Amino acid sequence: MGVSNIKYKLRTKLSLSYLLITLICVASISIFANIFLEKQFREYVIKNQNVKNQEIMNMISNQYGQDNKWNYDYISNIGMNALESGIIIKVKDSKGKIIWDATKHNTGLCNQMIEQMAQNMNSRYSNWQGKYTETKYPIVQVFKQIGTLEIGYYGPFYFDDNDLKFINNLNWFLIAIAVFAFVISLFFGTLMAKRISNPISRVIKSAELIAKGYYGDCIPEKSNTREIHDLTETINNLAETFENQDKLRKRLTSDVAHELRTPLTTLQSHMEAMIDGVWEPNIERIKSCHEEILRINRMVGDLENLEKIESDNIVLDKTEFDIAELTRNIITNFESDFVKKNIKIMYESEEQLIMADKDKISQVIVNLLSNSLKYTEKGGKVKVYISGDKDKVQLIVKDTGIGIPKEDLQYIFERFYRADKSRNRLTGGSGIGLAITKAMVEAHNGSIEVQSKLNEGTEFTIKMDK
Ligand code: ADP
C-alpha cells in the first residue's frame, strides 16, 4: 500500500506545529522589520545628512553675508567641526578657487574616515558597491551664487558607527524575541500536547481493556476540552453497556440452560421410572410428560418468534380497526382467569381507530394483561385505559401487583430477563414476553414505558401514532 507506516505521536506533531507556527511568525516579523525599518532608517539617515549639509551651507553663507568676503578662519573652523562629525567639505568661491579643503587640511583623517565608512557599509552589506562621492551645493546670496560647497562622503549613503549600532541592536533584539518565542512555544506546545494526548492515551488503554473483556476500568479524569470530555464519557458508557450486555448474556445462557434443564430432567426421570417399571405408564403420567414437552416447545417457539421480530423483518399487515374494541374483547377472554384469582379488572375507553397490524397489537395487549394477571396477588386490581387525540393513541395497563425492583426496571424489556428469578420461576414465565412486546410496539414506531414501585404496582404505557 502507498500509505506510509510511520506514525508520529500526536504530542510530537502538536509540539512541532507550535514550533513551526512560531518560526513562521518570528521569521516574517524579522523579514518585515528588516525590510521596512531599514528602508525607513535609510531615509532617515539621508534626510539627517541633508539637514546637516543645509546647516553648514547656512553658516557659510551667513558668514559671507555679514562680511561680504570670505573669512578663512571662520570657514576653516566650520570645516574642522564638520570633519569631526564625519563630513568632508570643500568650499570654493564663485571663480572656483578653493577657500578651504578638508582633504588638504587633514588628508590622513579624511582617508581614514572614508575607509571607516567603507568598512561600516561593507560589514552591513556583503557586496556593497559604494564609492567616494561629492555633492555640490551652490552658496547663494541675494540671488547671486557666491561660491560652491562640496560635501564628500562614501555614497550613495552611509551609516556611521551609531547608526550601525542601532541596526545591530535591533537585530539582536529580534533574535532575542525569536529565542524567547521559541522557548515559550516549546513550553506551551508540549504542555498543550500533553493535555490533549494524555487523555487520548488513557482512552486507548481503556478501549484495549474493553476489547479484552475488562469493563471495570472507568476513566475518572475530567477534561475541559469538549471533544475529549465526550470521548471519555462515550468510552465509559460503552464499557458500562458492554458490561451490562455481558452480564445479561451470561444470565441469558444460564437461564436458557436452566429453563430447558427443568422440564428435560422431569421428562427424563418420568420416562426412566416408566421404563424401569417403577411407574406404570398410565394416561395421567403420559399427559404430564406431554405438558413438559409442550413447555419446552413453547420456549423454543418464543425464542424463534423473538428472533424473527428482532431481525428487523417484521412485516406489518396494517388495517384500520378500533383498538378499544379489540382490548375489550381480549379482556373478555381473560375475564375468567381474573375472576379465578379474585382480581378486579376495570376498563375505560372510547372508540379509537388506528392503522396497525391487528394480530401484533392484540399480542401486545395479551402480553401486558397476562403479566398483570401473573404478577398481581389475589384481591388486587388491574385497570386498562385507552385515550387519544386525532394523531396519537395511548394505552395504559396498571396493576396493584408485586411491582418491579428499581434496579431491574431498565432490563425488563431484555430477553429472558426476569426481575426476581426465584419468585418468577413459579409463574412459569420465560422473560421473553416484554422483549416481544417492545419489538412489536417499536415496529409500529411507537414507544413503551414502565413505571413501578415494589409491592405497590406497575404501570405500562404504550404510545402510538394512529
Ligand atoms: P415473563 O415471561 O417472565 O413474564 P416478561 O418479559 O413478560 O417475562 O417480563 C419480564 C419480567 O418483568 C418478569 O419476569 C417480571 O419480573 C417483570 N414484570 C413484567 N410485568 C410485570 C408486572 N405487571 N408486575 C410486576 N413485574 C412484572
pLDDT for 129-143, tens place per residue?
Answer: 777 788 888 888 878
Instruction: Using the mean position of ligand 1's atoms as its centre, give its distance from the Cα of residue 342 in Å.
Output: 20
Contact 223 CB / ligand 1 (< 6 Å): no
pLDDT of the residue at 194: 86
Q: Read off the CATH number of the domain in which 132 is found.
A: 3.30.450
| Domain end (from 144, 178, 212) | 178
The dihedral formed by the CA atoms of 369, 372, 374 and 380, expressed in degrees to the nearest 10: -130
Phi-psi region of 138 (alpha: psi -120 to 50; beta: other; left: phi over 0): beta
231 is a domain residue: no
Q: pLDDT of 241-250, one tens digit each?
A: 888 778 767 7
Among 364, 370, 404, which is best to mutate for testing ligand 1, by the most ligand atoms less than 8 A from CB?
404
pLDDT of residue 355: 95
Segment 304-308 shows an average pLDDT of 73
**For cell 431491574, what's the residue?**
408
Question: Using a 6 Å cutoff on CB, does residue 382 contact ligand 1?
Answer: no
Could you list the residue range(s) of the whole structural domain that residue 446 is in?
A: 315-465
Look at residues 128, 154, 178 and tell me which one is the last residue of a structural domain: 178
DSSP 415: T
- Please check whether residue 80 lies inside any domain of the structure: yes
Res 436 pLDDT > 50: yes
CA of 368 to the centre of ligand 1 (A): 9
Q: Which atom of ligand 1 is nearest to the CA of 432?
A: 6
Domain stops at, among 178, 212, 239: 178
Between 380 and 198, the higher pLDDT residue: 380
Span 369-422, pLDDT tens digits: 999 999 999 999 999 999 999 899 999 999 999 999 998 898 888 876 777 655
For atom 20 of ligand 1, the residue with the nearest CA is: 371
Residue 423 alpha carbon, nearest atom of ligand 1: 16
- Report yes or no on 90 lying in a domain: yes
Ligand 1 atom closest to the Cα of residue 401 is 24
Give which of 129, 146, 124 is closest to 137, Cα–Cα: 146
- The answer to the question of residue 415 being in a domain is yes
- Ligand 1 near 401 CB (within 6 A): yes
With respect to residue 416, please indicate whether it lies within any of the assigned structural domains: yes
Q: What span, in angstroms and rounded, lies between the C-alpha atoms of 147 and 68?
A: 12
Q: Is 404 in the pocket of ligand 1 (CB under 6 A)?
A: yes
Query: Is 272 part of a structural domain of the chain?
Result: no
Top-ranked range on mean pLDDT: pick from 170-174, 259-263, 449-453: 449-453
Answer whether 412 contacts ligand 1 (Cβ < 6 A).
Answer: yes
**Which residue minimizes the CA distance to atom 11 of ligand 1?**
418
The answer on pLDDT for 45 being more than 50 is: yes
Q: Which atom of ligand 1 is nearest to the CA of 397?
A: 23
Residue 39 has pLDDT above 60, yes or no: yes
Question: 372: Cβ below 6 Å to ligand 1?
Answer: yes
Give the nearest ligand 1 atom to 367 CA.
7
β strands within 72-206, DSSP E: 88-93, 98-101, 131-141, 144-155
Q: Confirm whether 188 is domain-assigned.
A: no
Backbone angles phi, psi at 90, to 5 degrees: -140, 125
Residue 41 maps to a domain: yes
Is the pTM higher than 0.85? no
In the reported structure, the alpha carbon of residue 253 is separated from the centroid of ligand 1 by a whole-number distance in angstroms of: 18
Q: How far is the CA of 30 from the centre of ligand 1 (A)?
A: 77
Q: Does any ligand 1 atom lie closer than 6 A to the CB of residue 110?
A: no
The answer to whether the peptide bond before residue 156 is cis (omega within 30 degrees of 0) is: yes
Domain count, the chain: 2
402 Cβ contact list (under 8 Å, min separation 6): 375, 376, 377, 423, 454, 455
CATH number at residue 335: 3.30.565.10
Nearest-CA residue for atom 4 of ligand 1: 429
